[in-house]
């Protein structure tokens, strides 16, 4: 059977990840030295040079802008729905007003055709009742006050009526006929009036004169017209309120659209930052600690390997070969995969069987087994460095951290099972891992005695047949720990005595190869004091610059010799000293404190 030609098919498997387009070593260095900000800076600088990275960023930005446009569309659609709802309310209100105005017009036309000598139609009873109860209607006004003549006539009439009643009582005459009286007022003195029933309205109609009926018709018409005007005014106020609310919504919509457009680029930048952070977390370069991102152990380990490669290139050829290990033992053991370099010795059948037993289809790190050569010696190394305040000057602390990282990887590469202890000391001693080593900051004074004591405890309890100590410092012992556990600083003589006591204890450990690395300083007293400590513990002193610190450490680890030596006479043995000039010793102590931590 003839197999198809796969070269005619395009490879559609690709990646749009930003990290994949960056140089791995440059990314690791930027993350280790500057954190996530360093990765962002590297991404911006590489964008101008790498067309593929620039294309990936443009695709990401286009996607983020489309998301911003969808967000803008949702915002404007929300405002449009509110405007449509307002329009529906306005149209519904206008329709209701038109219906009510039409009903009022019909009632007004009907009121003009009413025969006011009869009871009005039922739909006009409310309007007629309101017109009858108007306080200023002629039938509701009080009668006019009578004049003098009328009052005189009324007086004589009452007298005549009294005489008639007097004679009628004597004669037993019949009852006097009742007087007609005057009309009854419906709403006299009451501005609101009262409700009238149909019978009362009929009685009122029977008492109204033709002129009063015309007046009642006009009042009914005026009442209906007043209702029309009130309804139109209310409808106009509602329309103005709706229009004002619509204008406000349109202004808010325009402002929201402007803000969304202005925030688009900010959102694009934030989206790029989140994408980069997500990719870095997925690859195990950074991790969340509280609300910030910090580098991981894996990233620091990769950075340490890069530093080792850089420092190795500066080493002589014979030292490079010695870093690769000693002669082969020929004895191998089957063990789990620890480092990427061991993949060449992978036990494929055993790893595949372990993967199948674990329910996995492919070989992974957790199920990978390799054949590892058994080393002929057990190794224990203590790496101690000074992190006092003076180490923050001239980049000495950063140089020490980088050199120790490179040496750590070199030890692990040659002896995977070696015990490596990292110690940082200022007033106190702290045991570190790779991450805390890289993150440590300068502290206070230099407590060399406590560092030597901690190294002595670790190495004395070790069962390794190769024990080594590397101690990095830049000055004199400035502090010591008293018997009460308190740290005392400023007493240089006492601190030096304690350091020599601890160096004597450390010198009893066998076998032990100890090396003190003193970073150069203009103070002439530092090197003699360091040589005295080294001679006491039976070690070796290296005086070097921070830039050559990594090389010196790797040379010593490879059992090389000092590459840079200062030819100074040996330090005199401790003995009685000549008396100092008055005030000279105090001035020297103050100068030492200034030059130390």
* pLDDT confidence band for 148 (50 / 70 / 90): confident
Q: Are 336 and 368 in contact (CB under 8 A)?
A: yes
Could you report the per-residue pLDDT of 339-352, keeping only the tens digit for each? 676 777 888 888 88
The mean pLDDT of 30-51, rounded to a whole number, is 89
Q: What was the pLDDT predicted at 564? A: 45
pLDDT at 7: 53
Indicate if the pLDDT at residue 539 is higher than 80.
Answer: yes
Is 14 in a helix, a strand, or coil?
Answer: coil
Cis upstream peptide for 511 (omega within 30°): yes
Q: Which one-letter DSSP state was computed for residue 473? A: E
Helix axes 198-207, 125-132, angle to 10 degrees: 60
* pLDDT, position 460: 92
pLDDT tens-digit readout, 270-323: 888 888 889 899 888 999 888 888 999 999 999 999 999 999 888 887 777 666
Examine the pLDDT at 171 and tell me if it is beyond 70: no
Structure tokens at 455: 């190294």
- The pLDDT of residue 14 is 56
Nearest to 31 by CA among 254, 23, 255: 23
For the full predicted model, state whether its pTM sits above 0.75.
no
Using the 8-state DSSP alphabet, how is residue 346 labeled?
Answer: B
- Among 250-259, 385-394, 485-494, the range scoring the smallest mean pLDDT is 250-259
Which tokens in the block code for residue 164? 């008639």
Are β-strands 369-373 and 332-336 bridged in parallel, bridged antiparallel, or unpaired?
antiparallel
Q: Strand 379-386 relative to strand 369-373: parallel, antiparallel, unpaired?
A: unpaired
Looking at 23-50, list the stretches that DSSP marks H as alpha helix, in order from N- to C-terminal side: 24-34, 36-47
**If pLDDT is split at 50, 70 and 90, which confidence band does 210 have?**
confident
Residue whose entry in the numeric block shows the structure tokens 């000693």: 326
329/291 Cα distance (integer angstroms): 50
What residues have CB less than 8 Å from 75, skipping those under 6 apart? 253, 256, 257, 260
Bridge partners for 515 per DSSP: 470, 540
Q: Which domains does the chain have, with CATH numbers?
A: 299-327+378-571+585-595 (3.40.50.410), 330-374 (no CATH)
| pLDDT given for residue 325 in this prediction | 56
């Amino acid at each position: 059977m003839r197999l198809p030609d796969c070269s005619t098919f395009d490879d559609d498997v690709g990646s749009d990840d930003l990290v994949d387009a960056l140089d791995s070593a440059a990314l690791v260095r930027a993350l280790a030295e500057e954190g996530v900000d360093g990765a962002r800076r590297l991404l911006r600088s590489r964008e101008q040079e790498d067309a593929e990275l620039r294309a990936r960023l443009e695709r990401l930005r286009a996607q983020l802008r489309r998301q911003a446009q969808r967000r803008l569309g949702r915002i404007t659609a929300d405002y449009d729905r509110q405007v449509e709802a307002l329009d529906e309310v306005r149209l519904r209100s206008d329709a209701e007003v038109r219906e009510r105005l039409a009903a009022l017009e019909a009632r007004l036309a009907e009121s003009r055709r009413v025969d006011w000598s009869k009871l009005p139609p039922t739909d006009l009873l409310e309007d007629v009742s309101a017109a009858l109860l108007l306080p200023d209607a002629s039938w509701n006004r009080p009668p006019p006050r009578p004049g003098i003549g009328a009052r005189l006539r009324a007086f004589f009439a009452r007298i005549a009526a009294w005489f008639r009643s007097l004679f009628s009582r004597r004669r037993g005459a019949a009852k006097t006929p009742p007087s007609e009286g005057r009309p009854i007022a419906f709403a006299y003195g009451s501005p609101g009036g009262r409700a009238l029933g149909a019978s009362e309205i009929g009685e009122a109609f029977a008492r109204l004169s033709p002129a009063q009926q015309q007046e009642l018709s006009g009042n009914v018409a005026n009442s209906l017209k007043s209702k029309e005007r009130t309804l139109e005014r209310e409808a106009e106020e509602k329309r103005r309120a709706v229009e004002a609310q619509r204008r406000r919504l349109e202004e808010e919509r325009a402002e929201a659209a402007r803000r969304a457009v202005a925030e688009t680029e900010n959102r694009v930048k934030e989206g790029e930052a989140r994408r980069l952070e997500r990719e870095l977390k997925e690859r195990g370069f950074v991790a969340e600690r509280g609300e910030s991102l910090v580098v991981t152990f894996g990233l620091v380990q990769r950075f340490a390997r890069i530093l080792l490669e850089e420092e190795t290139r500066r080493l002589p050829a014979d030292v490079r070969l010695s870093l690769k290990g000693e002669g082969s033992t020929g004895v191998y053991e089957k063990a789990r995969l620890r480092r990427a370099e061991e993949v060449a010795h992978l036990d494929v059948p055993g790893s595949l069987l372990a993967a199948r037993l674990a329910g996995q289809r492919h070989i992974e790190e957790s199920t990978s087994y390799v054949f590892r050569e058994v080393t002929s010696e057990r190794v224990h190394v203590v790496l101690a460095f000074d992190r006092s305040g003076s180490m923050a000057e001239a980049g000495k602390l950063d140089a020490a951290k980088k050199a120790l990282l490179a040496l750590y990887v070199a030890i692990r590469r040659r002896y995977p099972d070696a015990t490596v202890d990292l110690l940082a000391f200022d007033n106190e001693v702290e045991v570190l891992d790779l991450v805390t080593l890289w993150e440590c900051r300068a502290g206070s004074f230099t407590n060399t005695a406590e560092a030597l004591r901690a190294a002595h405890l670790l190495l004395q309890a070790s069962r390794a047949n190769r024990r080594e100590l590397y101690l990095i410092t830049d000055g004199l012992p400035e502090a010591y720990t008293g018997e009460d556990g308190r740290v005392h600083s400023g007493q240089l003589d006492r601190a030096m005595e304690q350091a020599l006591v601890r160096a004597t204890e450390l010198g009893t450990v066998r076998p032990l190869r100890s090396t003190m690395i003193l970073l150069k300083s203009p103070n002439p007293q530092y090197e003699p004091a360091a040589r005295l400590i080294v001679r006491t513990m039976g070690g070796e002193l290296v005086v070097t610059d921070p830039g050559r610190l990594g090389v010196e450490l790797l040379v010593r680890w490879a059992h090389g010799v000092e590459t840079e030596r200062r030819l100074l006479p040996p330090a005199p043995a401790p003995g009685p000293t000549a008396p100092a000039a008055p005030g000279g010793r105090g001035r020297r102590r103050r100068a030492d404190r200034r030059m130390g931590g």
